[in-house]
Amino acid sequence: MTLGTVVGHGGFFSGFAKALEAEKNHRDLRFQIGEGFGVGLSENIEAVLRSSGETIWCHCTSTHWQISGFSIYQHEQHPICHFDHTADSCVLIGLATKQTFWAQYAFQFAHEFCHALIGHSSNWRKRNLRQAGPNFWLEECLCEVASLFSLRAMSETWRSKPPYPNWKDYAEHLKSYADERIEKTRQTYRQPFPSWFAEVENDLRRNPTMREHNCRIALELLPIFEAHPVGWDSLQHYRMTVPSEEQTLQEHFEQWLRSADRSQHTFIKKIGTVFSVKILQ
Ligand SMILES: [Zn+2]
Beta bridge partners of 95: 74
pLDDT band of residue 125 (cuts 50, 70, 90) is confident
d(CA 210, CA 130): 20
**Interval between CA 25 and ligand 1 midpoint (Å):** 26
pLDDT value at residue 2: 31
**Mean pLDDT of all residues belonging to the chain:** 91
**Interval between CA 153 and ligand 1 midpoint (Å):** 20
pLDDT band of residue 8 (cuts 50, 70, 90) is very low
Residue 4 pLDDT exceeds 70: no
Residue 25 pLDDT exceeds 80: no
**Interval between CA 199 and ligand 1 midpoint (Å):** 22
**Interval between CA 160 and ligand 1 midpoint (Å):** 31
Residues with CB under 5 A from ligand 1 (ion): 143
CB atoms within 10 A of CB 203: 12
pLDDT band of residue 26 (cuts 50, 70, 90) is low
Residue 193 pLDDT exceeds 80: yes
**Interval between CA 115 and ligand 1 midpoint (Å):** 7
d(CA 209, CA 142): 12
80 φ, ψ to 5°?
Answer: -160, 145
Beta bridge partners of 255: none
pLDDT value at residue 126: 81
| pLDDT tens-place string over residues 37-57 | 999 999 999 999 999 999 999
How would you classify the pairing of strands 91-95 and 80-81? Answer: antiparallel
DSSP assignment of 177-232: HHHHHHHHHHHH--S-HHHHHHHHHHHHHH-S--HHHHHHHHHHHHHHHHH-GGGG
Query: Which distant-in-sequence residues (6+ apart) come within 8 Å of 249 by Cβ?
Result: 135, 138, 201, 275, 277
**Interval between CA 143 and ligand 1 midpoint (Å):** 6
**Interval between CA 259 and ligand 1 midpoint (Å):** 22
pLDDT value at residue 21: 55
% pLDDT > 90, the chain: 84
d(CA 104, CA 158): 16
% pLDDT > 70, the chain: 90
Q: Which amino acid is present at 161?
A: K
| pLDDT tens-place string over residues 219-235 | 999 999 999 999 999 99
**Interval between CA 172 and ligand 1 midpoint (Å):** 26
pLDDT value at residue 1: 29
**Interval between CA 64 and ligand 1 midpoint (Å):** 21
CB atoms within 10 A of CB 155: 22
Indicate the DSSP class of residue 54: H
